[in-house]
Amino acid sequence: NAGVTQTPKFQVLKTGQSMTLQCAQDMNHEYMSWYRQDPGMGLRLIHYSVGAGITDQGEVPNGYNVSRSTTEDFPLRLLSAAPSQTSVYFCASSYGGNGYTFGSGTRLTVV
């Protein structure tokens, strides 16, 4: 039982490059979300999905896109990376109000 799997664990991008952060869960959870974690800022919600085919914006969605074609996968796309997007990104999933299971994170640096 893998839980929530995020890839890659580390990534360095140049300003303007695009990339996709992958997230997959094997728990058949309907709800999935992406957070970014910055020092002193806690966890801020980027985008979330309540089920396949449904996505919505969170607190800090600008510069990011998501899609949810299957229950298992919820990729996060950076369209044109900026230094302000240097952060640690966490994917999480849940079923009902039972709390989130988090992945181990992707540490992204934009230079």
Partner 1 sequence: GQQLNQSPQSMFIQEGEDVSMNCTSSSIFNTWLWYKQDPGEGPVLLIALYKAGELTSNGRLTAQFGTTRKDSFLNISASIPSDVGIYFCAGLFTGNQFYFGTGTSLTVIP
Measured from the CB atom, is 58 or 75 closer to partner 1? 58
Rounded Cα–Cα distance for residues 66 and 78 (Å)? 9
**Is 1 one of the binding residues for partner 1 (CB under 8 A)?**
no
Burial classification of residue 103, based on how many CB atoms lie within 10 Å of its CB (0-12 exposed, 13-18 middle, 19 or more buried) = buried
Least Å from the CB of residue 67 to partner 1 = 18
Binding mask 26-55 for partner 1 (x = CB under 8 A): ----xx-x-x----xxxx-x--x-x-----
Rounded Cα–Cα distance for residues 15 and 67 (Å)? 23
**Is 96 one of the binding residues for partner 1 (CB under 8 A)?**
yes
Rounded Cα–Cα distance for residues 95 and 7 (Å)? 22
* Contact footprint for partner 1 (CB under 8 A): 4, 30-31, 33, 35, 40-43, 45, 48, 50, 58-59, 90, 92, 94, 96-105
